[in-house]
Structure 1
Amino acid sequence: MTTLRIGTRRSVLATTQSEQVAALVRDRLGVDTELVEVTTEGDRSQAAGTPLPQSPTTGVFVSALRDALLAGEVDLAVHSLKDLPTYPQEGVTLAAVPGREDPRDVVVARDGLTLGELPVGSKVGTGSPRRAAQLHALGLGLDVVGIRGNVDTRIGKVRAGEVDAVVLARAGLARIGRLDEVSEVLDPLQMLPAPGQGALAVEARTGDPLVELLAALDDPATHAAVVAERTALATLEGGCSAPIGALAEVVEGEEGPELWLRATVLSDDGTLAVRRSASTPLPTITDRDAAAALGASLAQELLDEGADQLRSAPEATSSPAAPTAGSTEVHNA
């Protein structure tokens, strides 16, 4: 093995993320690396201004990289983990999930304002149905508008006065060194992130000896957390464009590590939401079966509470209530 070819999308954020993985490869495996840029269907639809929910499949930022991997054009591929479809791809193995960046969402607003400081009717841009639903659920009277484009494009719309604010993933801004533009970091009680947000996925060809070597890049706590989140997503069958948020973290309990998971499903307009939280002990930090069981169990409880009925939710009159550990609620958000 002389040089490992790392497949990456062409954007500044994607190449920055891939270079971070490349640095881990060089440091932990002692192998030289080369970035190979690949244009994905998601990049093409984004350039054309096509909204993601109208794209033909989930994983629109992923398939071209996987094709290059399977064709032997690259040795491994790096993705934002939240972009990965929840169903498996034949011939491809998730070899490592490196340590996660802060998964929370952030606001970039004119004049450094927070969401609560923006006047009623202010335009807030996002391309995510999950973010849009949760923005509506805050009840601040904001005008949530759809936008597409990379970080520069979205923040540029604020600077140009086209929107008053945009909501983005903190992890992306951290990786490209632009946290100074953040007006507000949103607490997960206000906005749960997308499953896998802030984490990276390193994929290799199934059966390639490289899979075992890449395990040296894996962060077990991050991997367990995203397994729980993505299993919940898969069970809910929401796909990457559904208004579903989930966040898991490993904490130290009295008898060893525990995994805590919170998840929410909202109607598209944010008027109704089902939330649930739960935890499970992890016999070992690498016990992904326990993580998957937690995600599946929590998601099934959400479905039992009517989560699958919320996409076109009828008008409801109950009052919002803050979720507590192990609790479920369906309410006006």
Structure 2
Amino acid sequence: MLREHTARLPAGAVGRGAVTGTLRLGTRASLLATTQSQHVADAVAAASGRSVELVPITSEGDVLTGPLAQMGGTGVFATALRDALLRGECDFLVHSMKDLPTAPYPGIVVGAVPVRASRRDILHSRDGLDLDELPAGARIGTGSPRRVAQVRARRPDLVVDGIRGNVDSRLRKVADGQYDAIVLAEAGLRRIGRDAAITQVLDWPTSAAQGALAVEVRDGDTAVAEAVALIEDGPTAHAAHLERAVLRRLEAGCAAPVAIDAVHLGDVVTLVAHVYAEDGSRSVVAERRLDPHADLDAVAAEVVAELLEGGAADLADLAGTSR
């Protein structure tokens, strides 16, 4: 099974040519969300010949404060968008794929996964110091349990605290001294032109589907599915769906420190999955080299079995409700 909850098009649907009519793309109003959405809108317009307009939608996660894990996880941002799509207020959506719960959402399917941006994390530090150069006791900000565990594994002498807010507000918290450094996704920074804020590109594995975008459509909406399917990138979609298949099998909630990377290297896919203890003191890893045509669910089942046999369930909460 190549793709999770994926739109099914009639034979010969893709590539029929331009279709008239403006498509409405629902998006959160943040700079990163609108930038990502506009990038996809431009790509869909160029590929399909249809004009695309952005429709701003406010989610509960945009107006509430507090840790994401206590608000229901990163899926809190997706719910309002999905509900608006089902109500017909827009025709399709764009999400950072790593933020989507892996459980199916009734009435909605993934219509396309475009070319992936960088999957890496970066460090932004006020004094230009790399992670290994920061002084003992330096305060690091991140909202990701996985990043917390990885920082603590590398530097147990640092203080790691939670942080919320958009990219620019987090950068300001470093500039004004609330944090000595923060860890963010490289893709988000580069998409909004904040390349200069990158102090160090970190070499550890990252979250399932990080750097990838998911384009969602209403199940059965063939005309829209046909338009967005034109921007699908096969290797990106395969890798992202494989990573999320492992995450889904792990039943890892938003509070679970899990990293999963699948990389296409010619005719071979290399898959690496890590589960960390929250304090970074231990981790369990499973690795595979596989054919790109291997069954994703079967591979995910094998990898998860190996992780659990290695004690992954003793390290992290793998029975989360937001998945």
Q: One fold, TM greater than 0.5?
A: yes
Is residue 2:280 matched to residue 1:267?
no
Is residue 2:205 matched to residue 1:182?
no
Aligned residue type for 2:56: E
Is residue 2:212 matched to residue 1:199?
yes
How far, CA to CA, are the matches of 1:249 and 1:153 in structure 2?
32
Is residue 2:322 matched to residue 1:303?
no
Partner of 2:288 in structure 1?
Answer: 278
Alignment of 1:26-175 (within 5 A): 26-45=45-64, 48=65, 50-56=66-72, 59-175=75-191
Aligned residue type for 2:33: A
For structure 1, which segment, 268-277 or 80-89, has the greater mean C-alpha deviation from structure 2 after superposition?
268-277
Aligned residue type for 2:237: H
Is residue 2:263 matched to residue 1:258?
no
Aligned residue type for 1:267: A
Aligned residue type for 2:250: L
Partner of 1:225 in structure 2?
Answer: 239
Unaligned runs of 5+ in 2: 1-19, 318-323
How far, CA to CA, are the matches of 1:204 and 1:53 in structure 2?
26
Aligned residue type for 2:256: A
Is residue 2:239 matched to residue 1:234?
no
| Poorly superposed stretches of 4+, deviation over 4 Å | none
Q: Deviations over 1:277-304 (max 9, x none)?
A: 1121124xxxxx6234323321221012
How far, CA to CA, are the matches of 1:247 and 1:293 in structure 2?
17
The answer on whether the counterparts of 1:98 and 1:217 sit within 8 Å (CA) in structure 2 is yes
How far, CA to CA, are the matches of 1:219 and 1:107 in structure 2?
28
How far, CA to CA, are the matches of 1:56 and 1:238 in structure 2?
13
After TM superposition, give the deviation of residue 212 of structure 1 in Å: 3.1
Unaligned runs of 5+ in 1: 284-288, 313-333
The answer on whether the counterparts of 2:73 and 2:254 sit within 8 Å (CA) in structure 1 is no
- Count the aligned residue pairs: 297
Query: If the length of structure 1 is used for normalisation, what is the TM-score?
Result: 0.86
3-state SS of 1:36 partner: strand
After TM superposition, give the deviation of residue 275 of structure 1 in Å: 1.1
How far, CA to CA, are the matches of 2:155 and 2:67 in structure 1?
25
Aligned residue type for 1:281: D
How far, CA to CA, are the matches of 1:53 and 1:179 in structure 2?
28
The answer on whether the counterparts of 1:280 and 1:290 sit within 8 Å (CA) in structure 2 is no
Q: Deviations over 1:134-176 (max 9, x none)?
A: 1111135111111111111111111001110000000000100
How far, CA to CA, are the matches of 1:44 and 1:64 in structure 2?
12
Counterparts in 2 of 1:118 and 1:57: CA distance versus 1, 3 Å: closer
Aligned residue type for 2:269: L
Partner of 1:243 in structure 2?
Answer: 257
Question: Per chain length, whose mean CA-contact separation is higher, i.e. which structure has more relative contact order (CA < 8 Å, sep 6+)?
Answer: 2
Q: Percent identity?
A: 48
How far, CA to CA, are the matches of 1:56 and 1:145 in structure 2?
19
For structure 1, which segment, 62-71 or 298-307, has the greater mean C-alpha deviation from structure 2 after superposition?
298-307
Q: Deviations over 1:97-134 (max 9, x none)?
A: 00000110000001211001100110010011110011
The answer on whether the counterparts of 1:279 and 1:294 sit within 8 Å (CA) in structure 2 is no
3-state SS of 1:246 partner: strand
